[in-house]
A = this chain, B = another copy of it.
């Protein structure tokens, strides 16, 4: 049998067997609509509310501040549009970074059509947002700052707690309340998600990134944050997100988040040692391979590399022939032809950015997996470089 090595945990993860087990009864047996009166439905209601408490425990917030959504994308949209449209009277300025996920960046573009102004902060060559840039960007008309907790492509971890302090201070100085959102989708299972430690008013999570089902998101909204719900309808989720609850999905997401939080330490260490083995091995065996992102302030499971003279997709296809799943830039939209906006923002030249490959580890990966990748990568790169017209020119 062909070996199967999954190294794309930043794109998505399998549902954890225990999360799936928790979900199963809610499809065909305990299928009541949580809004109904009778016992079958109240069981579903209870399952949703217990899930809310479980999530709130991990975020260190009251259960009432948790909204269940249909994914990270919806949570990002709801956070930005929700605050922007609700706080419109106070100002029309939003601050974000150039390396946010499309779910944040495209939402900003949407809001620009509605008269909002957005500052896209640059990052340094390691992908770090500069805290002083955030401070400088905030004006009297700023209502919202949205900076991600960790980047999905290069794994760089942003200084959210510091940013939170600066937002609070500058907010006082200019005399207007500025709210802080963080897209923590890539942080789940790796970083502390306590909203008070982070100092954020809104926080986004996506279930399928932490071994929960696809199509479930979490949005934390601190009490007192202006928020205009974007999905209108029934009185679900305390009037903040209409629509019949995805009961099985919510139960699965909460179970998975609990497991991920429990295993955070051990999992992080294991991933990090595999990641370091992979990076070291590649740099030893393959010339002109460059690690992107921050050397140390990065997610424990992220190894993002750029290979000169070759293009990412053709590397991925060859890896796939050998049973290895990896990604080039964001998995979110392979439909895009532009090189990753994240690598561009970090100042990586376009031709190098085209040769990016991202390996992201998970708890099921082993040293053998890494050694297998190390055994095939040099051949793949060599083969592609042999076809490439850039190789000679470059090496001469």
Contacts and interface: CB of A to CB of B under 8 A. Distances in A.
A13 interface: yes
Interface in A20-48: 20, 23, 27-29, 31-33, 35-41
A120 interface: no
Interface residues of A, number: 78
A300 interface: no
Interface centre among A31, A72, A335 (most CB of B within 10 A): A31
Interface in A298-343: 313, 316-317, 319-320, 324-328, 330-336
Contacts of A175: none
A33 B330 CA distance: 11
B27 A14 contact: yes
Interface stretch (A49-57, A99-107, A347-355): A99-107
A240 interface: no
B35 A242 contact: no
A378 interface: no
A243 B74 CA distance: 7
Interface stretch (A124-132, A209-217, A267-275, A366-374): A209-217
B15 A231 contact: no
A103 B243 contact: yes
Given A243-B74, A334-B37, A233 B316 contact: no
Contact of A233 (B27, B77, B327): B77
Interface centre among A71, A72, A335 (most CB of B within 10 A): A71
Nearest to A327: B36
A245 B216 CA distance: 10
A107 B232 CA distance: 5
A244 interface: yes
Given A6-B40, A37-B334, A106-B233, A15 B32 contact: no
A102 B244 CA distance: 12
Nearest to A109: B232
Nearest to A330: B234
Given A32-B325, A214-B249, A232-B109, A73 B37 contact: no
A12 interface: yes
A233 B320 CA distance: 27
A11 interface: yes
Contacts of A232: 73, 77, 102-103, 106-107, 109-110
A333 B41 CA distance: 13
Contacts of A319: 38
A247 interface: yes
A335 B235 CA distance: 7
A70 interface: yes
A246 interface: yes
A11 B246 CA distance: 14
Given A40-B325, A214-B248, A245-B214, A35 B234 contact: no
Given A73-B242, A107-B233, A249-B249, 6 more contacts: A36-B334, A71-B246, A102-B232, A215-B216, A234-B332, A244-B332
